[in-house]
Structure formats: structure tokens, C-alpha cells
């Protein structure tokens, strides 16, 4: 079942791998000119940006060093959201989309326990997303070496693992809402709203006392606050993300097991 | 034990979708080896019953067991073949690959079976499923339902979208299933589709099972139009008030009427004259079917049921 599910996802996974790699290629290629013209992209230049925009981009305090550039341009906003979108679309293909299409009818009448069905589809999501992460990690590392960014592999690995976990967390959100409702619209809405608000809370909202505490509900807090590119693997934070994804997957299992399908 | 246990046993089976009634208080037993025709108009509760048996949806009240076990047991579904009423097949995957996958998960599909069934039904399995025509999708659906030779076949509107030649082949396959002692539940909104193969029919309307009949008994109750032609004009009084004769019209040397049930009295009366020509239509079970509806259904509130 897992193998079959992965085969179904194959085209999408390859597409996302190529897309994210192309994004990396495009943005990291620009680093060459950034490094050579630090005065253009240096702190003085950055000071011209509106504060809120800088906050939204994670501060942009250090744009010219390899790690700083990689953090601001790649790992701050774009790549986590690309992973998140990939995870959301793949997770919807597990239950909600086939349920809306009607193709889930034959699958749930196979001699497979429903709990096992959800777990296997989640496992396929983990493996598929892991494969996309592994491929794009190699591409990023290769590009970083080529552009002589001076960021060691283990730091890139640490950041990339965080991106994978953020994607996995939101994939599990999509899966859980899809498993409970059988509809991909609500699943995407909940995921999208959670992602955008979660991101805003840890960036712009950081300085607003009234909402700063909400960061505890934001997966981005556990991803970015450990500064994986600068500090290495934040084990505790990543464990929180992993645990949350597991809890959500379990919620999906229980929700789907007790529900009427396709009504 | 297998010979004795009912293949389906539903007791007080009830399903509401919110406030909307899907099925109300169904009591039904289907015995091993029988072909049960499940009849009703679209939205009467046929599909609801079938999906309850397969644990796709869960009853509001009551219980249903299939092949001697509760419907919640996943393992029992390997012994069932199911053709959904609204079969959806999508994507780029070839039908053959999908069938092989289903066969592997269910087990019990010998090599070559899929190809043989495809040949019988004249199905093209090399086409991506999203590109199959409605008729071809239905054929793929039939193949997956029959391919593991299940003990119990549940077919929801199996003949929809099939051309007449394929329908004939499908009926032959059903008779083979019966000959091997296996059981079939097949739904339809047209009685003519099931009357020739079914042993019993159940009629469901607005979520309630209103009648279960043997097909032979049903045929005995059937309304039949008869036309008799004689060599000379006959007196109308001779045919007046015969038991079971309705809508009598005597015109010169011809008699036209409708008979309920047995034609015995009419034949004996006609035998007193010289009959030159006799036309008797096939009993129209559809008409009895409709009679059930108008009698039993009249007082039902017309709810929108699925």
C-alpha cells in the first residue's frame, strides 16, 4: 500500500523536487554578486527597507555572509512555504481528494483496516517528503559549495531538517482536517491560515506583546528560533515539531476511523 | 456452518444523514446461493444499505452482519466483491495496473484471470483510467468485483452504461456465480434488469423495505394483457365478471382484457368458442412493482433520501 501510494505521488514529488531545486539555483546564483558588492547589500542598504518588511523577512540583519544570505533568502520564508505547499497538496491526496473524487470508495472496501490505511498514507507522506528534502538538500549543498558560501554541510542539514519538519507538521494538519471532514477545501484553509498566522506571529508579531505568546502555537517558532544555520541542530525544538506531527497523524487515524466516508 | 449462516443479516438497520432519512428499520436476510434483486428508484436507500454492509458508512441504529461477521471486520471484505453505484476511476494509471493492485491486496486472483474477464467483457485495460469511457469504467468495475471469485457479490446498479451485448455476458457471469453456489446482491431501479436472474427481489422505497417477494410469486401476481380473436363475433356477457379479468373490451370477434394472476378462467371461457388467434404479452413485472409503490408509498412523506 505504501509503495502504491508513493507510485501515485511520484510525478508530484519529482515536480516539487525540480521546482524547489530550480528556486535554490536561481537565488543562490545571485549570491555571487551579493558577495562581490557588499556595499550594495550591506547593513546601510538594508536600513532603507521598511522595518515591517524586514521583520517579515526575518530581520535581514546579515545579508552578505553566506549563512546570513542563505537564511534570509532561502530558509527564512520561501523554502519552508514551498515545502509546506508540497506537503499540503500531497497530504490532501491521501484521503480528502480521493474521497471527493469518489475513488476512495473502492479503497476503503479493501480488506485493510481504516486505521492502517491512514497510517500507511501518512508513512508515504513522510517518505515522499523526506525524498524531496534529501534531493533538495544535496542540490543546496552543492550550490553553496559552488558559490563558496562557507556554510558547513551539517548546518545546511540542520536547517533543511527543520524545513522538512515544518512541511511534515503542516502536512499532518492537512491530513487530520481532511481525515475528519473528507474535504480538501477546509483542510487547505486550516493549513493556510495556520501557516500564515504562525509565520506572522514569529516575525512581525514578535515585538507585539499582546500576540507574542502565540509563538508557542507556531511551528515556525520551533523551526527558526534555534537558528539551525548558525547554531546547528536544535534537538529540543525539532522534537516538539516531530511530536506535534505525530499527534496530528494520530488524530487523523482516529477521526477517519469513526466517520462515514463519502456522504 | 457456512451453508447455514445467512450471508447478510440486517436487524433494525437504520441510517440517518443528520435529519435526512437514508434507511429506516431494515430487517433482511439473504441466504447462501441466492441472487437477491434490490429494487427501488434512485435515492430510495439501496446504496445506503449497500454502503452500510461494507462499513463505508455506519448505522445510526441496528446491526448488519455479512458472511457471519460484523461489518466492521476488515478481513471479511476480502471475501466480498463490490461494484459501487458511482464508480470513480481517475488518473494516469492504466486500468490493468490498478486491477492488479486491487487483486494483490484482496488476494485470490490467479494469473490470467483479469485478462480473461477483460476478454469476456471486451474491456480495454491499456488505457489510463481517467480516459476510460463510462461503459469501459463499468467493465473495469465488474472485473474487479468478479476477479477474486468472492463468496458474496454486491453490485450496485451493475448494468448502467453497459451495451446490450455486454449486459448479456454479465448475466451469463451472474448465472455462473449462482451455479457455483455463491451469493449476489444486485440493485437496480429497473425490475426488468433483475427479474430474469434474481431468485428474490426486495423493493425499497423512501428508505423502507416495502416488500420482499420470490420472483416466481411476483410473476404469478403479474398483470398480463391478453387479446383473443375468434372466427365469429362472441357475446360480451360470456366474458363478463370472470375472476381476475379487468378492462374487458369485446368488439365483434375480438376480446381484449387485462388479467391479474392466472389466466385459467379466461382460457376456459374462450375455449367454448373457436379461437383463431391469441396474443399474450409477457407479464409486466414493472407494473406490479409500480402497484407496490402507489399502494405502500402513497402515505409516505416524500422526503429527499439518498
For chains A and B, what is the number of CB pairs under 8 angstroms? Answer: 61
Q: Which residue bears the cell 467493465?
A: B139
Distance CA B83, CA B160 (A): 11
Residue B290's pLDDT band, with cuts at 50, 70 and 90, is: low
- Residue A27's nearest CA partner among A165, A139, A133 is A139
Query: Under DSSP, is residue B242 helix (H, G, I), strand (E, B) or coil?
Result: coil
pLDDT at B5: 84
Q: Do B91 and A111 touch (CB under 8 A)?
A: no
Report yes or no: B77 at the A interface, CB cutoff 8 Å.
yes
Q: Is A4 at the interface with chain B, CB within 8 A?
A: yes
Q: Does B105 touch chain A (CB under 8 A)?
A: yes
**Nearest CA-CA partner of A197 in A228, A226, A219:** A219
- Tens digit of each residue's pLDDT (9 = 90 or more) over B73-108: 999 999 999 999 999 999 999 999 999 999 999 999
Determine contact: A103 vs chain B, CB below 8 A: yes
Q: Does A26 touch chain B (CB under 8 A)?
A: no
Of A109, A260, A263, the CB nearest to B82: A109
Say yes or no to pLDDT of B301 above 50.
Answer: no
Please tell me the predicted confidence (pLDDT) of residue A29: 87
A103: which chain B residues are within 8 Å (Cβ-Cβ)?
Answer: 88-91
What is the per-residue pLDDT for A241? 96
CA–CA gap between residue B99 and residue B85 (Å, rounded): 18
So what's the pLDDT on residue A33? 83
Nearest residue, CB atoms, A111 vs list B74, B87, B93: B74
| ipTM higher than threshold 0.90 | no
A115 near B CB under 8 A: no
Please state, in angstroms and rounded to a whole number, the distance separating the CA atoms of residues B278 and A254: 68
Residue A199, C-alpha cell as written in the block: 509565520
pLDDT digits (tens, 9 = 90+) for B217-256: 777 777 778 999 999 999 999 999 898 898 899 999 999 9
Q: How far apart are CA B186 and CA B290, in angstroms?
A: 19
Which residues lie below 8 Å from residue A79, measured CB to CB, with a gap of 6+? A20, A23, A24, A136, A163
Alpha helices in B122-163 (DSSP H): 134-146
Q: Which chain A residue's Cα is nearest to B99?
A: A106
Rounded to the nearest angstrom, the minimum Cα separation between A13 and chain B is 15
- Those residues with Cβ within 8 angstroms of residue A62's Cβ, 6 or more apart along the chain or in another chain: A68, A71, A72
Per the CB < 8 A criterion, the answer to whether A229 and A151 are in contact is yes
Distance CA B232, CA B254 (A): 9
| Among A64, A32, A31, A33, CA closest to A46 | A64
What pLDDT score does A227 carry?
A: 85
By the CB < 8 Å criterion, does B304 face chain A? no
What is the average pLDDT across A202-211? 84
Q: For chain B, give the mean pLDDT.
A: 89
Mean pLDDT over B155-181 rounds to: 93
CA distance B297 to chain A (A): 25
Element housing A156 (H / E):
helix A153-181
pLDDT attached to residue B289: 63
What pLDDT, on a 0 to 100 scale, did the predictor assign at position A136?
96
Distance from C-alpha of B77 to C-alpha of B72, rounded to nearest angstrom: 9
Q: What angle do CA A31, A34, A39 make, to 5 degrees?
A: 165
Give A230-257 pLDDT, tens digit per residue: 888 999 999 999 999 999 999 999 999 9
**Contacting B residues, span 144-163, partner chain A, CB-CB under 8 Å:** 144
**Is A262 in contact with B56 (CB distance < 8 Å)?**
yes
* Per-residue pLDDT tens digits for B40-72: 888 899 999 999 999 999 999 999 999 999 888
- Chain A partners within 8 Å of B17 (Cβ): 260, 263
Share of chain A above pLDDT 90, in %: 68
DSSP A148: T
Strand partners, B94: B128
Cα B106 to Cα B46: distance, rounded to the nearest angstrom: 25
Top residue of B48, B105, B155 to mutate, by most chain A CBs within 10 Å, is B105
Mean pLDDT of the residues in chain A:
91
b/e A168-183 (16+ beta carbons within 10 angstroms → b) = bbbbbbbbbbbbbbbb
Return the pLDDT at B305: 43
pLDDT digits (tens, 9 = 90+) for A53-91: 777 777 777 778 888 888 888 899 999 999 999 999 999
Q: Judge residue B271's burial from the number of C-beta atoms within 10 Å of its C-beta, 0-12 exposed, 13-18 middle, 19 or more buried.
A: exposed
User: How far does chain B reach from its first CA to its final CA, in angstroms?
Assistant: 35
Compare A212 and A115 and report the one with higher pLDDT: A115
A102 touching chain B per CB within 8 A: yes
Amino acid at each position: 500500500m505504501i509503495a502504491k501510494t508513493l507510485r501515485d505521488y511520484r510525478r508530484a514529488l519529482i515536480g516539487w523536487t525540480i521546482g524547489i531545486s530550480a528556486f535554490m539555483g536561481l537565488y543562490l546564483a545571485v549570491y555571487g554578486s551579493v558577495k562581490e558588492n557588499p556595499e550594495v547589500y550591506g547593513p546601510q542598504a538594508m536600513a532603507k527597507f521598511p522595518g515591517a518588511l524586514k521583520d517579515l523577512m526575518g530581520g535581514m540583519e546579515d545579508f552578505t555572509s553566506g549563512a546570513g544570505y542563505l537564511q534570509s533568502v532561502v530558509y527564512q520564508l520561501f523554502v519552508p512555504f514551498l515545502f509546506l505547499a508540497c506537503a499540503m497538496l500531497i497530504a490532501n491526496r491521501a484521503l480528502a481528494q480521493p474521497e471527493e473524487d469518489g475513488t476512495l470508495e473502492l479503497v476503503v472496501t479493501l480488506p485493510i483496516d481504516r486505521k492502517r490505511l491512514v497510517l500507511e498514507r501518512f508513512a508515504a507522506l513522510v517518505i515522499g517528503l523526506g525524498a524531496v528534502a534529501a534531493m533538495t538538500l544535496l542540490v543546496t549543498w552543492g550550490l553553496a559549495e559552488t558559490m563558496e558560501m562557507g556554510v558547513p554541510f551539517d548546518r545546511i542539514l540542520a536547517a533543511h531538517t527543520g524545513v522538512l519538519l515544518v512541511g511534515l507538521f503542516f502536512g499532518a494538519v492537512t491530513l487530520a482536517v481532511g481525515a475528519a471532514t473528507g474535504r480538501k477545501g477546509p483542510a487547505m484553509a486550516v493549513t493556510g491560515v495556520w501557516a500564515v498566522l504562525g509565520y506572522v506571529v514569529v516575525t512581525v508579531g514578535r515585538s507585539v506583546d499582546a500576540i507574542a505568546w502565540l509563538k508557542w502555537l507556531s511551528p515556525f517558532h520551533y523551526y527558526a528560533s534555534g537558528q539551525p544555520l548558525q547554531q546547528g541542530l536544535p534537538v529540543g525544538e525539532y522534537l516538539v515539531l516531530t511530536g506535534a506531527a505525530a499527534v496530528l497523524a494520530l488524530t487523523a487515524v482516529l477521526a477517519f476511523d469513526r466517520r462515514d466516508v463519502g456522504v | 456452518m457456512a451453508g447455514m449462516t445467512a450471508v447478510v443479516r440486517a436487524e433494525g438497520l437504520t441510517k440517518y444523514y443528520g435529519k435526512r432519512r437514508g434507511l429506516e428499520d431494515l430487517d433482511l436476510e439473504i441466504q447462501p446461493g441466492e441472487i437477491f434483486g434490490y429494487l427501488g428508484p434512485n435515492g430510495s436507500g439501496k446504496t445506503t444499505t449497500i454502503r452500510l454492509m461494507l462499513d463505508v458508512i455506519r448505522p445510526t441504529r441496528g446491526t448488519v452482519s455479512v458472511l457471519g461477521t460484523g461489518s466492521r471486520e476488515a478481513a471479511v471484505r476480502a471475501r466480498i466483491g463490490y461494484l459501487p453505484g458511482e464508480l470513480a476511476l481517475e488518473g494516469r494509471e492504466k486500468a490493468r495496473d490498478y486491477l492488479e493492485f486491487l487483486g494483490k491486496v484482496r488476494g485470490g486472483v490467479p494469473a490470467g484471470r483479469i485478462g480473461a474477464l477483460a476478454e469476456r467483457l471486451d474491456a480495454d485495460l491499456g488505457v489510463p483510467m481517467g480516459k476510460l469511457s463510462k461503459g469501459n469504467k463499468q467493465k473495469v468495475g465488474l472485473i474487479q468485483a468478479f476477479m477474486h471469485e468472492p463468496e458474496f457479490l454486491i453490485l450496485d446498479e451493475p448494468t448502467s452504461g453497459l451495451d446490450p451485448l455486454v449486459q448479456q455476458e454479465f448475466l451469463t457471469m451472474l448465472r455462473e456465480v449462482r451455479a457455483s453456489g455463491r451469493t449476489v446482491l444486485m440493485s437496480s431501479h429497473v425490475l426488468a434488469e433483475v427479474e430474469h436472474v434474481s431468485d428474490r427481489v426486495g423493493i425499497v422505497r423512501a428508505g423502507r423495505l416495502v416488500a420482499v417477494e420470490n420472483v416466481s410469486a411476483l410473476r404469478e401476481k403479474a398483470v398480463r394483457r391478453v387479446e383473443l380473436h375468434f372466427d365469429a363475433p362472441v357475446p360480451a356477457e360470456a366474458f363478463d365478471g370472470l375472476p381476475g379479468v379487468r378492462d374487458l373490451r369485446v368488439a365483434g370477434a375480438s376480446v381484449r382484457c387485462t388479467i391479474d394472476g392466472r389466466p385459467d378462467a379466461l382460457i376456459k371461457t374462450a375455449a367454448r368458442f373457436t379461437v383463431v388467434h391469441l396474443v399474450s404479452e409477457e407479464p409486466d413485472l414493472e407494473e406490479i412493482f409500480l402497484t407496490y409503490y402507489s399502494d405502500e408509498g402513497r402515505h409516505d412523506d416524500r422526503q429527499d433520501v439518498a
